[in-house]
Amino acid sequence: MNNDLKGMCLFLGLIGVGYVMLLILVALFTGAKIIKSIIFISVFSSGLISLGLTSQVKNRLSSYAKSFIAK
C-alpha cells in the first residue's frame, strides 16, 4: 500500500476516533442509547488506523503495550 493511502487511512481513523469521543460525550450528557453505533464506529476506526500504520510502528506499539502490562 502506498504512503498516500496509508495517510488517508490514518486520517479517517483519527477522525472516527474523535467522532466516537463526541458521541460518548453526547451519550453521557443526554442519556441517549447509542452504544451500538459507538462500538461499530470505534471498531471501524481502529481497523483504519491499523491499516495505516507500518509494521515497524505496530511492533513498537505492541512492545510498549507488553512492557506496560508487565509492570
Give residue-wise pLDDT tens across range 28-40: 999 888 888 999 9
Q: What is the separation, in whole angstroms, between the first and last Cα of the chain?
A: 36
How many structural domains is the chain composed of? 1
Residues 15-29 have a mean pLDDT of 94
Instruction: Label residue 17 by pLDDT band (50, 70, 90).
Output: very high
Containing domain of residue 31, as a range?
A: 3-70
Cα 55 from Cα 51, distance rounded (Å): 10
* pLDDT reported for residue 68: 83
Residues 43-60 have a mean pLDDT of 89
Residue 45 pLDDT > 90: yes
